[in-house]
Amino acid sequence: MTTSLSRIPRTRDAERFGPRAQTRDPRPDHGRPIETEYRPRHPLDLRRTVLYQRRGAGDPTMAVSGAVIWRVSRTPAGIATLAIRETHPGVIRGAAWGPGREWALAQLPALCGADDDAGDFDASQHPLIADAHHRNPGLRLSRTDLVFDALASAIFEQKVTGMQAFGAWRRIVTWCGARAPGPTPAPMFAPPTIDGWQHIPSWVWHRAGLEPPQSMTVVHAARRGDAIVRSVLAAEDGEAVERVLISQRGIGPWTAAETRIRALGDPDAVSVGDYHVAHEVGYALTGHRTDDDGMLRLLAAWPGQRQRVIRLIGASGVREPRRGARLHPEDHRDR
């Protein structure tokens, strides 16, 4: 029977998703959902864990309505809309609509960090990490198992600000994706298929605000998308995954790491080349910013768990004071 997950009041948000989202592709007939209950064996901060997958506040594949997190994905079995909430402490309720609903519910524990293995992680090696680990016992590393979606969204973020990347992602997914089934709180969309990414016209990329190097990289990756996905999922470890990804044109270590983090929940992936991460790690651990080499030296104290340390630094609230002017991103769409 449908629970209160499906009775959340719906809202209209034309400003967020654009007027075309209100008129194109009427909502599919979602029917009745199937549901499951997940009881994690560990403490779980549901919002901090799952919402790490969101690409900006306007991401048309993820939304938050009250206590419910909504996620739309294009699973191997088809599009699915998943609604998740914590009904009681330690009880996660999921409801799913669409042809991929069974896959989405089966993957729910991994999305909530069930596969996250802290191993012999020793937080005591630095007082800030120890304190953040103690105060955030429910921080888990989420994985989606949707390799190409994670790869495409990471390519969108290459060498641009988050605001530019998230805006382009919102437009492309809304314009070229598929309308989500289910009683979503606003119009939501699944990303294009791998084949669909290949056939997005150049003028659509331009109007979405994505630069040609990034759009061409997405298209080139999509041409080998199925093979990339198979190779990544068959890889033995994170280093093997990175080798698969960086062998593709336009994909370097940063993009490979971002893909590993979101698709596979890799606890050791480090986004070398990021505009902020090295500075934040250096400041948190030493009081002074550092570069990528310095960051890797600092993180070497936690082999196999470097991404966990970065996430704990983010959860600690420690931030380097910003002294420079805020970067003003260039908008090339009217050129």
The average pLDDT across 324-331 equals: 55
**Confidence class for position 30, pLDDT limits 50, 70, 90:** low
Range of the domain at 213: 147-316
Q: Looking at the domain assignment, is residue 8 inside a domain?
A: no
The answer on pLDDT for 332 being more than 80 is no
Q: What is the reported pLDDT for 162?
A: 82
The span from the CA of 178 to the CA of 172, in Å, is 11
The average pLDDT across 66-94 equals: 96
Q: Looking at the domain assignment, is residue 12 inside a domain?
A: no
The answer on pLDDT for 65 being more than 80 is yes
Express each pLDDT in 229-261 by its tens digit: 999 999 999 999 999 999 999 999 999 999 999
Mean pLDDT of the chain: 90
Residues 6+ apart with CB under 8 A from 4: none
Q: Looking at the domain assignment, is residue 255 inside a domain?
A: yes
**Confidence class for position 160, pLDDT limits 50, 70, 90:** confident
- Count CB-CB contacts under 10 A for residue 315: 15
Closest C-alpha among 208, 180, 165 to residue 61: 180
CATH number at 215 reads 1.10.340.30
Q: Looking at the domain assignment, is residue 310 inside a domain?
A: yes
* H and E: helices and strands count for the chain: 16, 7
Q: Looking at the domain assignment, is residue 53 inside a domain?
A: no
Express each pLDDT in 280-318 by its tens digit: 999 999 999 999 999 999 999 999 999 999 999 999 999
Q: Looking at the domain assignment, is residue 222 inside a domain?
A: yes
Number of domains observed in the structure of the chain: 1
Q: Looking at the domain assignment, is residue 69 inside a domain?
A: no
**Confidence class for position 109, pLDDT limits 50, 70, 90:** very high
The answer on pLDDT for 142 being more than 90 is yes
pLDDT more than 70, % of the chain: 87
The answer on pLDDT for 195 being more than 60 is yes
> What interhelical angle do 225-234 and 147-156 show, nearest 10?
110
- This prediction's pTM: 0.87
Owner of token pair 């088809």: 78
Q: Looking at the domain assignment, is residue 223 inside a domain?
A: yes
